[in-house]
Structure 1
Amino acid sequence: MYILETNSFKYYLGERLLFKLPALKLHTKSRIGLIGLNGSGKTTLLELLAGIRPIPAAAKIICKTTMTILPQLKERLSKSGGETTQAYILQALKQQSGLLLADEPTNNLDMDHLLWLEKELRHYSGALILVSHDRDFLDALCNEIWALDDKQLQIYQGNYSNYQQQKIISEKTHDQAYRKYIMQKTHLETAFSAKQQQAQKAVKTTKISLSEARITGAKPYFAKKQKKLQQTGQSLLTRLDKLKQIEKRQSLPIIKMNLLSSKLWQGQILVRAHNWSYIIDKKPLWQTASFSVKSGDKLAIIGPNGCGKTTLLKQFLKAHNKHLPNVQIAGGAKIGYFSQDIDILDPDKNLLRNLQSTSSQSEALLRTVLIRLRFKREDFFKPIQLLSGGEKVKAALAKILVSDCNVLMLDEPTNHLDLDAVTALEELLCNYPGTLIFTTHDRRLLKAIAKNLLVFDGTKLNFFPGPYDDYSNKQISTEYIEATADILLIENKLAEIISHLSLNPTEKLEAEFQSLLAKKRLLLSKQSS
């Protein structure tokens, strides 16, 4: 049964075409991932389906179920960003609508709450349309991808990884078709050129006597031959004109950056902390932490919202600028720091000039980095104030990436980026030759880049020597073992209480019995999730 249907229609913002939609059909088990570049119209499409935005006269949207929309821009509820997002999510889930439209529901959520949301939506009884730049989130939940690309909505079956595979196949098919088109075009152009040359030579007769010409009729013969060659050439030209033109797909250039003036050598100790504690407003964020970070490392800082990740990055910066008793930064370190404030951009300069102001790299490399981050060539000379919010984030990241720094500290670099930009950033960071220290809630970025971790566990700050997958597997294994042990203890207590209840039932024993049952159910659900 279809719960929502639309006809095919176009949507304009003023005179500008934003997108063209095919006929859409959603059923009760639809799990849609809606993706596209920033500004492609994802939020607008959700608002059209939800009836928040007026639909065009030619559009027809039929909804046969209840609907809830979880907006991207949420009014702050005197709470942190993560807490506000959680409050909105809980309110939306309580409504149990037949269709939930969620616009960037993972924004500001830490890893634990992201996994909680994933679990809630996996068991959601209605249909879902999700806008998200979290690739693992889309993989876990979606059975169909709607991709807004070049003002068209393309539909792909499967999750985000399936979509990527289909895109690769589509690109290979296009490349093969382009090569075939070029071969046919070259063949026809060569044949046409040859016929033209033959036609020109046909009138250049050899010198013969007048009497011979009268006998053989040479002139009419060569004229006929020329006409026939010209007709063949015209036929080739007609075939050339009718040949379906296929444009060459734009391939992204390869980037190889060098640290032009690094005073650090690979493996040198960059950060050394010994019995380092940090207290703010009489509250310890971390206590007596000891660890070291080597030059060339790619270190991720992970932990729940509010644990102190951003504060830790800022303390590294402080230690670099002045002496701190329990943490030292190598003297040759030159740190580039990215925060969501985007305060490193000069509003009086255009995009390219901003990058050049702090970089010794060639202009060709700067342009290549911008192209990889999905900037167009006409954007290079735009003043910073004319860029969108997402473009400013990309501009700030590009400026730091190509700067003359040898250490990058990035605080949530994927926030406000679309999926294409996140993928491009991941590739750039994987190939970055310097040291990288970063925070992120993007699990795929974490898995692809981090070689080691700094983990907030309450007020403990632990160094984990290995990638996120190793840490995650170890955590799951430890938690499973601990949960199993706790379940055994609860079952022993339950057996004891049951024996007492059979002899002398009381309200206190009954309450304790129910409490233990609830704890057991919770532990079993954690094991199965």
Structure 2
Amino acid sequence: MIIKELMNITYEIGDRKLFDIEHLQIRDKERIGLVGRNGSGKTTLLEIIAGKRNIQSATISGETSATLLPQLKRTDTVKSGGEITQQYIDKALARKTELLLADEPTTNLDTSRIERMERTFERLQGAVIIVSHDRAFLDATCETIWEIADGNVDVYKGNYSDFARQKELKIQEHEKAYENYVQKKQQLEDAIVLKEKKAERATKKPKSLSSSEARLKGAKPYFAKKQKKLQQVAKSIETRIEKLERVEKVKELPPIKMTIPNQESLQGRTIIRADAITQAFGKRVLWNEASFQIKAGEKIAVIGENGSGKTTLIKKVINEESGLSISPAVKLGYFSQNLDGLDPQKSILETVMETAIQDESIVRTVLARLHFFRDTVYKQMGVLSGGERVKVALAKLMVSDCNTLILDEPTNFLDIYAMEELGSLLEEYEGTILFVSHDRMFTSQIAERILAIENKEIIDFHGGYEEFKNRKMKPEVDTKEQELLVIETKISEVLSKLSLEPSETLDKEFQSLLKEKRKLLGK
């Protein structure tokens, strides 16, 4: 059943048309993921659906109640970012709305809370539209993807991974169409050259033609007429080329081979050593004694719940505190969310080049991989969005004289596409990477090893994120949910027996199980 329908929605900001949507439908209990680059209008579209923004042109039908879970959270509180986000979510869910519009609901949440939210969203009775940069979250919660691109909204069936596969197929089809276009154009151009050559020869008397035969045929008029005909054919072929539907070549972002300082001398050597390090604040212990070593070229993710000490750990490494030793050949590059050091008056290219050891062609390639194409590299830093500034700061680190990158939540403020672009760059980076991230797909893509802070211990796991998550055969399930599942299974078994052989014993067992179930549900 369709609960809301949107038609002919036009929205402009100044001279810029944000989007022009012909038709969208929202069905009862539908789970929709809304994706698009930063600035494409995702938040604006949610506000329009919620009736919180005036629009120039639109027809919206359906009296469904909608609750908007906003992207910006309160900051005038002593609570943590994760607690504030959870508070907003709980209040929105308590309204039991028919349509929940959730704008970045995973902001500031650690992995365990995100996974709990996934289970919560599964149980929702109404429809949901989710804006999120967390691809794993969209995979777990959505059955439809809306993509805002070039002012339009395209609808894809399936979750985010299904959407990504469909996009890849579109790219392959585009590449095939481009190849066909180039081949056809080349054939026609070759045919023109051939006709023009024949036209040139047409006015010359063939050697096989005697003078008497030429006089009889009227050589000049005959061959001039033949030349004209060939030229007309060539002209018609040119017209066919002009009428060919032009297909642009798919942009191919080239791989990057960068010079990493001391790379050869460090290869395979231990560059960072932690020996019996521990951390506590007063009586609160973050982790007990732990030891580990990091070798050059490794890509390691530091994971754990909010407040477990991830940022504290990487800062201990950066400051080479007691128990930590770093090879003198290591050149650390640190990324944090504090971007105050970027000069707003300088251009993107100037900002990255001022500390670069790579040549300008490699710098431009890195920037292109992060979607700063051509003249956009001359934009001033002061006009960039938060996500664009993050990309510039990361590019600046990658082309500097660093050989070991330490990244604290590098994907914050990045849209999904920028995260994918950054992920592919870091995969190709040949230096060492130690990073903190709550994004599961990003971590899976980059990490070859995990340092997990769990139960006040640092677990050193040699393997990828998926292997780490699957190391326990039994998945972590909410205890109450598990007990309910066991009781409901027993109830089903008893009911089956009662239908075949009713007895007082089975009836008592059935009543007892019902009582346990009500107690768990708080009834």
Give the structure-2-normalised TM-score.
0.87
SS at the partner of 1:8?
A: strand
The aligned counterpart of 1:410 is 407
SS at the partner of 1:474?
A: coil
Alpha-carbon shift at residue 136 of structure 1 (Å): 0.8
CA distance in 2, matches of 1:383, 1:455: 39
Alpha-carbon shift at residue 187 of structure 1 (Å): 1.4
CA distance in 2, matches of 1:229, 1:63: 65
CA distance in 2, matches of 1:249, 1:82: 41
1:78-117 matches, within 5 Å, as 78=77, 79-117=79-117
Q: Deviations over 1:165-191 (max 9, x none)?
A: 111111111111111111111111221
The aligned counterpart of 1:65 is 64
CA distance in 2, matches of 1:451, 1:234: 61
The aligned counterpart of 1:372 is 369
CA distance in 2, matches of 1:518, 1:403: 63
Contact 2:266 2:329 in 1 (8 A): no
Alpha-carbon shift at residue 478 of structure 1 (Å): 7.6
The aligned counterpart of 1:242 is 243
The aligned counterpart of 2:506 is none
Alpha-carbon shift at residue 408 of structure 1 (Å): 0.8
SS at the partner of 2:470?
A: helix
Q: Which amino acid aligns with 2:259?
A: N
Q: Which amino acid aligns with 1:71?
A: P
The aligned counterpart of 1:74 is 73
Distance change (3 Å), C-alpha of 1:514 and 1:213: closer
Q: Deviations over 1:502-526 (max 9, x none)?
A: xxxxxxxxxxx9998789779xxxx
Contact 1:454 1:463 in 2 (8 A): yes
Contact 1:264 1:295 in 2 (8 A): no
Q: Are residues 1:29 and 2:29 paired? A: yes
Identity over aligned pairs, percent: 45
Q: Deviations over 1:373-392 (max 9, x none)?
A: 11122221222112111100
Q: Are residues 1:308 and 2:309 paired? A: yes
Q: Are residues 1:431 and 2:432 paired? A: no
CA distance in 1, matches of 2:378, 2:13: 25
Contact 1:261 1:404 in 2 (8 A): no
Alpha-carbon shift at residue 135 of structure 1 (Å): 0.9
Q: Which amino acid aligns with 1:69?
A: L
The aligned counterpart of 2:275 is 274
Contact 1:199 1:229 in 2 (8 A): yes
Q: Deviations over 1:344-378 (max 9, x none)?
A: 53434321222222221121111111111111222
Alpha-carbon shift at residue 50 of structure 1 (Å): 1.3
CA distance in 1, matches of 2:199, 2:449: 73
Distance change (3 Å), C-alpha of 1:326 and 1:402: same
The aligned counterpart of 2:254 is 253
Alpha-carbon shift at residue 403 of structure 1 (Å): 1.6
Distance change (3 Å), C-alpha of 1:289 and 1:520: farther
Q: Deviations over 1:129-185 (max 9, x none)?
A: 111111111111111111112222211111111111111111111111111111111
CA distance in 2, matches of 1:234, 1:260: 59
Contact 2:262 2:329 in 1 (8 A): no
In structure 2, which of residues 359, 370, 389 is the aligned counterpart of residue 362 of structure 1?
A: 359
The aligned counterpart of 2:469 is 472
Distance change (3 Å), C-alpha of 1:516 and 1:200: same
CA distance in 2, matches of 1:396, 1:110: 24
SS at the partner of 1:375?
A: coil
SS at the partner of 1:380?
A: helix
Q: Deviations over 1:472-504 (max 9, x none)?
A: 123453857x979x97xx99xxxxxxxxxxxxx
Structure 1 gap ranges (5+)? 492-512, 523-529
The aligned counterpart of 1:297 is 298
Farther-moved stretch of structure 1 (88-97 vs 239-248): 239-248
The aligned counterpart of 2:4 is 4
Contact 2:10 2:55 in 1 (8 A): no
Alpha-carbon shift at residue 248 of structure 1 (Å): 1.1
Distance change (3 Å), C-alpha of 1:401 and 1:514: farther
SS at the partner of 2:256?
A: coil
Alpha-carbon shift at residue 422 of structure 1 (Å): 0.5
SS at the partner of 1:197?
A: helix
In structure 2, which of residues 447, 450, 455 is the aligned counterpart of residue 453 of structure 1?
A: 450
Distance change (3 Å), C-alpha of 1:263 and 1:212: closer
Q: Deviations over 1:272-296 (max 9, x none)?
A: 2233222335533222222222222
Distance change (3 Å), C-alpha of 1:461 and 1:334: same
Distance change (3 Å), C-alpha of 1:10 and 1:192: farther
Distance change (3 Å), C-alpha of 1:203 and 1:9: farther
Q: Deviations over 1:195-251 (max 9, x none)?
A: 233233323447999987664322332232123223222322222222111111111
Alpha-carbon shift at residue 326 of structure 1 (Å): 2.1
SS at the partner of 2:378?
A: coil
CA distance in 2, matches of 1:77, 1:100: 25
SS at the partner of 1:398?
A: helix
In structure 2, which of residues 370, 380, 387 is the aligned counterpart of residue 383 of structure 1?
A: 380
Aligned length: 493
CA distance in 2, matches of 1:418, 1:132: 8
Distance change (3 Å), C-alpha of 1:121 and 1:436: same
CA distance in 2, matches of 1:476, 1:422: 30
Q: Which amino acid aligns with 2:437?
A: T
Farther-moved stretch of structure 1 (447-456 vs 163-172): 447-456
CA distance in 1, matches of 2:359, 2:516: 67
CA distance in 1, matches of 2:306, 2:519: 26
CA distance in 1, matches of 2:245, 2:420: 33
CA distance in 1, matches of 2:459, 2:226: 89
Contact 2:4 2:27 in 1 (8 A): yes
Alpha-carbon shift at residue 253 of structure 1 (Å): 1.1
CA distance in 2, matches of 1:248, 1:195: 29
Contact 2:261 2:402 in 1 (8 A): no
Q: Which amino acid aligns with 1:128?
A: V
